[in-house]
């Protein structure tokens, strides 16, 4: 859902500094991680992304929360499911996951008025060496971006760190879609590009700023095609595989706090 955040200079960043606000953010991130862990065992060969979407909506509503993507600017589903050469915003459908696929599952929920947001790329069965390599690259890039930030640093440090790593590995870093501020709104300031745009020098991550880091890496070139006729699905320009991982971060006085850590998902340092 990141296309709703235009790439432009940002200022006056929203901050969440009271205990009540930060606890609200934490609760949203915690539930969102639970949702992804709930879906995890079902993301396997033979299931359709529509079926995964139905499970995500049911789990969210059964816990008294709201699927944030459903109906957002007309988006028709609860999750985004971006398969193989789909960079982002893939709409769930009746296509079954197959051995050798990679698929990014992006979940966002609203818990008592607060948004939680994250995504993971899953390997389906036995995948190619290239599929494993780009998935590992996107995962490592996320953690490199997280470790690049500290209180009062500029957003540009995220793009610098991720781009340096990606270029060393020969990956393309998607520029047209980015991370975003998040809190009581789905998308807000600051924009979080994963390449070092100069305008991000003026966006300072002071304590209280809540945002996502979610690098999209392509096995080939960084370019993307315009969205398909559905208005959402974005593919790599050259047909290469694309992978993405995302965490929701709260900058605190002590440093970045990751709000969407899962119990059962891959941890920092994981090898696919």
Q: Is residue 160 part of a domain?
A: yes
Tokens, residue 165 = 């790593």
Q: Is residue 269 part of a domain?
A: no
Instruction: For 14-39, write each residue's pLDDT tens digit.
Output: 999 999 999 999 999 999 999 999 99
Compute the distance between CA of residue 55 and CA of residue 177 in angstroms, rounded to an integer. Answer: 27
Number of domains forming the structure of the chain: 1
64-88 average pLDDT score: 98
Q: Is residue 205 part of a domain?
A: yes
Instruction: For 113-152, write each residue's pLDDT tens digit.
Output: 999 999 999 999 999 999 999 999 999 999 999 999 999 9
Q: Is residue 232 part of a domain?
A: yes
pLDDT at 3 over 70: no
pLDDT of residue 12: 73
Q: Is residue 47 part of a domain?
A: yes
Q: Is residue 194 part of a domain?
A: yes
pLDDT of residue 231: 97
CA atoms within 13 A on the CB side of 135: 25
Q: Which CATH number fits the domain that encloses residue 40? A: 3.90.230.10
Q: Is residue 119 part of a domain?
A: yes
pLDDT of residue 270: 98
**What is the span of the domain harbouring residue 46?**
16-258
Q: Is residue 94 part of a domain?
A: yes
CB burial string 191-209: b at 16+ within 10 A, e below? bbbbbbbeebeebbbebbb
Contact 271, 163 (CB under 8 A): no
């Amino acid at each position: 859902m990141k296309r709703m955040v235009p790439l432009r200079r940002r200022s006056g960043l929203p901050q969440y500094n009271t205990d009540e606000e930060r606890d609200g953010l934490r609760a949203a991130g915690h539930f969102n991680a639970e949702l992804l862990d709930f879906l995890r065992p079902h993301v396997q060969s033979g299931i359709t992304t529509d079926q995964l979407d139905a499970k995500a909506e049911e789990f969210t509503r059964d816990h008294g929360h709201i699927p944030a993507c459903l109906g957002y600017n007309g988006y028709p589903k609860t999750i985004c499911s971006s398969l193989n050469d789909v960079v982002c915003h893939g709409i769930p459908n009746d296509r079954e996951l197959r051995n050798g696929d990679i698929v990014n599952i992006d979940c966002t929920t609203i818990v008592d008025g607060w948004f939680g947001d994250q995504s993971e790329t899953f390997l389906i069965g036995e995948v190619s060496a290239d599929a494993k390599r780009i998935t590992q690259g996107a995962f490592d890039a996320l953690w490199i971006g997280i470790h690049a930030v500290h209180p009062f640093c500029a957003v540009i440090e995220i793009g610098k760190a991720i781009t340096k790593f990606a270029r060393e590995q020969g990956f393309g870093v998607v520029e047209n879609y980015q991370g975003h501020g998040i809190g009581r709104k789905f998308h807000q300031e600051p924009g979080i590009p994963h390449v070092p745009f100069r305008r991000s020098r003026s966006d300072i991550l002071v304590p209280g700023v809540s945002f996502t880091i979610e690098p999209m890496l392509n096995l080939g070139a960084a370019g993307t095609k315009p969205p398909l006729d559905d208005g959402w699905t974005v593919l790599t320009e050259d047909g290469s595989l694309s992978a993405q991982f995302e965490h929701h971060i709260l900058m605190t006085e002590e440093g970045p706090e990751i709000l969407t850590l899962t119990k059962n998902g891959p941890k920092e340092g994981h090898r696919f």
